[in-house]
Copies of this chain bind each other. A is one copy, B any other.
Amino acid sequence: MKLTILGCHSATPRDNARPTAQVLEVKGHLFLIDCGEGTQMALRKHGVKFARIKHIFISHLHGDHVYGLVGLISTFCLLGREQPLHVYGPKGIKEMIELQMRLGSSYMPFELRFRESVEPTATLLLEDDSLTVTSIPLNHRVYTHGFLVREKPGERHLDVVACEELDVEKAYYRKIKQGADYVRENGEVINNEKLTTPGKPPKSYAFCSDTMYKEDIIPQITGVTALYHESTFLKPHEDLCKKTKHSTAAQAATIAKKADVGMLILGHYSSRYKSYDMFTDEARPIFENSHCALDGKVFEF
């Protein structure tokens, strides 16, 4: 998986502090997650091909996560996009976008499909042969959910030497890689385990922003390869977390530790802090493999 941070700052955007947006490249997909104001400029800046974006996931309807969406969709229209676009977000997002498109008398040359969420529990949003995307219920001032992108187990590695020794017909190799046992014409069964070794372990990514500290999410995200968890504040401002329903870097790290994730990416920084190191300094004593998101930074995992 390849994650490109387009923006990772909270609230009031600046040219050098973009609001939340990121693209996740996984199994041939390019998912756009959140779309704050200016996201289309950031996509261009980082050379992301607009046509590759077919699915956009919006966590909640605060401006710093969604106000760039209508502009991006308008640009898709102006560029003559033809392929459908799927937008996943909280109830209301369809009305928000359609009203603006209607007031601008925009011609929509492609199909725009909305999947609006209202569910209070984790819900499967997208599934294909290679992955699933499930919502992660969060606790913020408005209805908010994160997203869990989970690869399906890939093909097993064929043990060609074993296959040849056991005289397996090559026509069956594909099915065997997919996990099937081999059955000879005489009915003899050779177990898949004798012919293959496990494939690459499937990877997973959890995006959790915006939210206050919420241990309920731990069972769902346990063991993910990478977790993006918001850290708007630092410990000295923990009182603001309760008021605004955000988290500190320490709280994000505690979730990462308890969920035994592979890696923690911090983000959604309040503009009151002048250094990113302050966030990793707070997180790493709790969860060592903590990293700061930065506008334009790429994580591969």
Contact = CB atoms under 8 A, between A and B. Distances in A.
Given A105-B141, A142-B104, A63 B74 contact: yes
Contact of A104 (B12, B40, B63, B74): B63
Q: Which 3 A-B pairs have the closest CB atoms?
A: A63-B74, A37-B71, A92-B103
Nearest to A73: B63
A61 B14 contact: no
A151 B14 CA distance: 34
B68 A37 contact: yes
A15 B44 contact: yes
A126 interface: no
Nearest to A92: B103
A14 B37 contact: no
Interface residues of A, number: 36
A45 interface: yes
Interface in A79-96: 79, 92-93, 95-96
Contacts of A93: 103
A125 to B, nearest CB: 20
A63 B71 contact: yes
Given A37-B38, A61-B100, 7 more contacts: A15-B45, A61-B104, A62-B104, A63-B106, A64-B74, A96-B99, A105-B142
A11 interface: yes
Interface of A: 11-15, 37-38, 40-41, 44-45, 61-64, 66-68, 70-71, 74-75, 78-79, 92-93, 95-96, 99-100, 103-106, 141-142
**Stoichiometry, copies per complex:** 2
A13 B50 CA distance: 13
Contact of A75 (B12, B62, B99, B142): B12
A269 to B, nearest CB: 15
Nearest to A69: B67
A70 B74 contact: no
Contacts of A78: 11-12
A105 B140 CA distance: 11
Nearest to A141: B105
Contact of A99 (B62, B64, B71, B95): B95
A164 B13 CA distance: 59
B15 A41 contact: yes
Given A71-B37, A105-B141, A142-B105, A12 B79 contact: yes
